Amino acid sequence: NYDSQKTYIVYMGSHSKGKVSTSSHHIRLLKETIGSSFPPHSLLHSFKRSFNGFVAKLTEAEVKKVSEMEGVISVFPNGKKQLH
Amino acid sequence: TTRSWDFMGFSEQVKRVPAVESNVIVGVLDSGIWPESPSFDHAGYGSPPAKWKGSCEVSANFSCNNKIIGARSYRSNGEYPEGDIKGPRDSDGHGTHTASIVAGGLVRRASMLGLGLGTARGGVPSARIAAYKVCWSDGCSDADILAAFDDAIADGVDIISGSLGGSGARDYFNDSIAIGSFHAMKKGILTSLAVGNNGPDFTTIVNFSPWSLSVAASTTDRKFETKVELGDGREFSGVSVNTFDIKGKQIPLVYAGDIPKAPFDSSVSRLCFENTVDLKLVKGKIVVCDSLTVPGGVVAVKGAVGIIMQDDSSHDDTNSFPIPASHLGPKAGALVLSYINSTNSIPTATIKKSTERKRKRAPSVASFSSRGPNPITPNILKPDLSGPGVEILAAWSPVSPPSGAEEDNKRVLYNIISGTSMACPHVTAAAAYVKSFHPTWSPSALKSALITTAFPMSPKHNPDKEFGYGAGHINPLGAVHPGLIYDASEIDYVQFLCGQGYTTELLQLVSEDNNTCSSNNSDTVFDLNYPSFALSTNISKPINQVYKRTVTNVGSKYATYKATVINPWKNLEIKVNPSVLSFKNLGEKQSFEVTIRGKIRKDIESASLVWDDGKHKVRSPITVFIAN
């Protein structure tokens, strides 16, 4: 049910041994975890340069699965901060 | 900045290393930048430093120069709020303000319509700016903040300044800013962050990771006074940033409590909430309200010529307004109301243009500045230190109303605003200044230098003590020569995180090293080589806490430092072992322990440790406080 999707940050730490994770790598991980039906356009952004992680639209059930994925440190909602 | 740098003794003539300073790149995560501001004039700047790997989001109406060497915007959802300018151009003004505080060039005779006249300047005027626009009129998303950190770290910035934050505390790896600043630290980049504007309540601080620098806001010795003169000649001093000059014209005065709009009565209309005041009766008048409103709040008295606000709220949270405005204290406010009720003629008043005055007892922590203790790790003192954040004049976007209110028709190149947002870039600049003398120093070494050399602030005038000001007020000149530094590496922070409940497996992902947690004991916090000492305790619990620290000699090759503990509390015994450290080389490290014993008797008991070699005083705050 993609109507109930929200945007989440999936933080995966540093790039493993300097290997940069690409969007296609993140989509592959998501498909392995959630299922092959995961639509690639739900991956909104991959952090590629300084650390590993991505931004994706996920359902609550998917968040649970992704949180248990190997290599995932945290999954949290894409919240809003404010200028001070 | 026409006063803030001079206030801390950081004059235009301070010693600099221009060739190094011009190689310093400051990454500013904010609302973008206005490149045509006089503060960012690139005349005299050479090409970007060779290390720069970033880019500029060039468009028909935006380009970078040798001052602003990089600029990018981030909007992960692709939907832009109405009225915002796409791309890195700053349609708000905030990002232009903060960037110019850090690294704006010198601009003579800068002012906000005559107020705050002087030379506007950044703390490191030769440094280069890389602007990362992550904030829009609807806020700053975590996804965009992380994307900007991802780029800034790889682009080769030296320091990151972030005058933004969330509304509550989150665990370190559930917070985009803590994550981003951790990876910055790993690459040798210090992140300086504003603690937030939710003071003066305790535990309101929002950026508190130990690898970043958490900055509170304090006053300078300049304040703006806005006088109100009544028709009977009596004059009262209020505060606001009032650029309007109505030439002393006496204007009919009306009390909002006397003109309620149905169904509301006086008890509501007096506070000037929107739609509670009869707007037909405010037209052409100055309205007196019994509360301090935000600039946009004047919509409640739409059509009024001016607004006089009176209540007992703090007088350091000043704003400019779309109409002439002044904020009076309750005593003056009562006299104004008594005049309205008692005069035999039509009550009148005028609101004068603000004037500069000397503020006594400066610096003191701004009432709005968020307070500690650290909500996640109370045994790490936060904030770290404070910087000027009240009534700061700096560059502004000329498309944005200076008061932030839609009704404001003024447009300015320099604006006077307050916030921990303004304090943060002062400290970022101080860190960049220190780095220009010591380019190889780690983020924690820069932090240590700033913290241990901070000017002490008065606990008498700042009752929240270290939870308001941390170690005290930044002292950029002193921080260049700290004598000793408390350095910490990525591994030290990882060991700290072990004690915070993170597992070896998880931390190996974060740090990409094969570190293992030698201890998951929460006491690892006391061994993190932090330049301050905090202890959260219980009133009934006897204290016996040991802190391990290591200092590195960066002062004189041969130096003997003696420890002095300034401890006014007889109930607490604070010992340092050894109490004398003798160095024979620069870069030499020596370790010591601080032991605190006794029982706490007050909510917050402050002491300090000073290592003194006769030339340097390396001061660390010690704060023992009751949990909760």
Q: CB–CB of B42/B66 below 8 Å?
A: yes
Give the chain A residue nearest B93 (alpha carbons): A83
The verdict on A9 touching B (C-beta cutoff 8 Å) is yes
Measure the CA angle with vertex B105, ends B479 and B477; round to 5°: 15
Asked whether the beta carbons of residue A50 and residue B509 sit closer than 8 angstroms, the reply is: no
Measure the CA angle with vertex B485, ends B479 and B491; round to 5°: 130
Asked whether the beta carbons of residue B135 and residue A83 sit closer than 8 angstroms, the reply is: yes
What percent of chain B lies above the pLDDT cut of 90?
A: 95
Nearest to B418 by CA among B309, B326, B320, B317: B317
Give the chain A residue nearest B194 (alpha carbons): A84
Q: What was the pLDDT predicted at B453?
A: 98
Asked whether the beta carbons of residue B176 and residue A50 sit closer than 8 angstroms, the reply is: no
Burial classification of residue B7, based on how many CB atoms lie within 10 Å of its CB (0-12 exposed, 13-18 middle, 19 or more buried): middle
Measured CA to CA, the distance from residue A48 to residue A29 in angstroms comes to 15
Measured CA to CA, the distance from residue B166 to residue A81 in angstroms comes to 4
What residues of B act catalytically? 30, 94, 421
Q: Which of A13, A55, A74 sits opposite B76 (nearest CB)?
A: A55
Q: What was the pLDDT predicted at A1?
A: 43
* Number of Cβ pairs < 8 A linking chain A and chain B: 122
- Which H helix or E strand runs over B551? strand B543-553
Among A10, A69, A83, the strongest candidate for a mutation testing the B interface, having the largest count of B CBs within 10 A, is A83
For B25, the token pair is 């790149």
Asked whether the beta carbons of residue B150 and residue A73 sit closer than 8 angstroms, the reply is: no
Spell out a b/e string for B310-335, using b for 16 or more CB atoms within 10 Å of the CB, else e: bbeeebbbbbbbbbbbbbbbeebbee
Measured CA to CA, the distance from residue B226 to residue B238 in angstroms comes to 5
Asked whether the beta carbons of residue B173 and residue A11 sit closer than 8 angstroms, the reply is: yes
Q: What is the mean pLDDT of residues B157-181?
A: 96
CA dihedral sign, ordered B29, B178, B619, B484:
negative
Asked whether the beta carbons of residue A14 and residue B147 sit closer than 8 angstroms, the reply is: no
Give the chain A residue nearest B29 (alpha carbons): A83
Residue with tokens 């015994």: B573
Q: Read off the pLDDT band of B565 (50, 70, 90).
A: very high
Measure the CA angle with vertex A65, ends A64 and A67; round to 5°: 65
Give the chain B residue nearest A76 (alpha carbons): B174
Asked whether the beta carbons of residue B186 and residue A14 sit closer than 8 angstroms, the reply is: yes
**pLDDT, tens digit (0-9, with 9 covering 90-100), for B120-137:** 999 999 999 999 999 999
Q: Read off the pLDDT band of B518 (50, 70, 90).
A: confident
- Nearest-Cα distance to chain B for A77, in Å, is 8
Measured CA to CA, the distance from residue B500 to residue B516 in angstroms comes to 14
Q: CB–CB of B531/B469 below 8 Å?
A: no
- Which H helix or E strand runs over B94? helix B94-103
Q: What was the pLDDT predicted at A3?
A: 53
Range list of β-strands (E), B391-486: 392-395, 414-417, 484-485
**SS3 call for B326:** strand
**pLDDT, tens digit (0-9, with 9 covering 90-100), for B5-52:** 999 999 999 999 999 999 999 999 999 999 999 999 999 999 999 999
Distances (CA, A) of A80 to A63, B143, B267, B333, B418: 19, 9, 36, 38, 22
Q: How many CA atoms lie within 13 A of A18 on its CB side?
A: 0
For A83, the token pair is 């200028």
- Nearest-Cα distance to chain A for B69, in Å, is 19
The verdict on A79 touching B (C-beta cutoff 8 Å) is yes
- Nearest-Cα distance to chain B for A35, in Å, is 24
Would you give the end-to-end CA distance of chain A in angstroms? 37
Q: Which residues of B touch A50 (CB under 8 A)?
A: 149-151, 153-154, 183-184, 187
Q: Read off the pLDDT band of B522 (50, 70, 90).
A: confident
The verdict on A31 touching B (C-beta cutoff 8 Å) is no
Q: CB–CB of B581/B561 below 8 Å?
A: yes
Measured CA to CA, the distance from residue A64 to residue A67 in angstroms comes to 5
Query: From first to last of its 84 residues, what are the pLDDT tens digits of chain A?
Result: 445 679 999 999 998 776 777 899 999 999 999 999 899 999 999 999 999 999 999 999 999 999 999 999 999 999 999 999
Give the chain A residue nearest B94 (alpha carbons): A83
Measured CA to CA, the distance from residue B67 to residue B363 in angstroms comes to 32
Is B603's pLDDT higher than 90? Answer: yes
Q: What was the pLDDT predicted at B515?
A: 76
**pLDDT, tens digit (0-9, with 9 covering 90-100), for B415-473:** 999 999 999 999 999 999 999 999 999 999 999 999 999 999 999 999 999 999 999 99
Measured CA to CA, the distance from residue B306 to residue B302 in angstroms comes to 10
- Give one DSSP letter per residue of A25-84, joined into a string: HHHHHHHHHH-TT--GGGEEEEE-SSS-EEEEEE-HHHHHHHHTSTT--EEEE--EEEE-
Name the more confident of B378 and A20: B378
Q: CB–CB of B454/B426 below 8 Å?
A: no
For B368, the token pair is 């709005």
Q: CB–CB of B380/B497 below 8 Å?
A: no
Asked whether the beta carbons of residue A44 and residue B163 sit closer than 8 angstroms, the reply is: no
- Nearest-Cα distance to chain B for A65, in Å, is 17
Among A43, A81, A82, the strongest candidate for a mutation testing the B interface, having the largest count of B CBs within 10 A, is A81
**For chain B, what is the mean pLDDT?**
96
**pLDDT, tens digit (0-9, with 9 covering 90-100), for B247-280:** 999 999 999 999 999 999 999 999 999 999 999 9
Asked whether the beta carbons of residue B149 and residue A45 sit closer than 8 angstroms, the reply is: no
What ipTM, to 2 d.p.?
A: 0.96
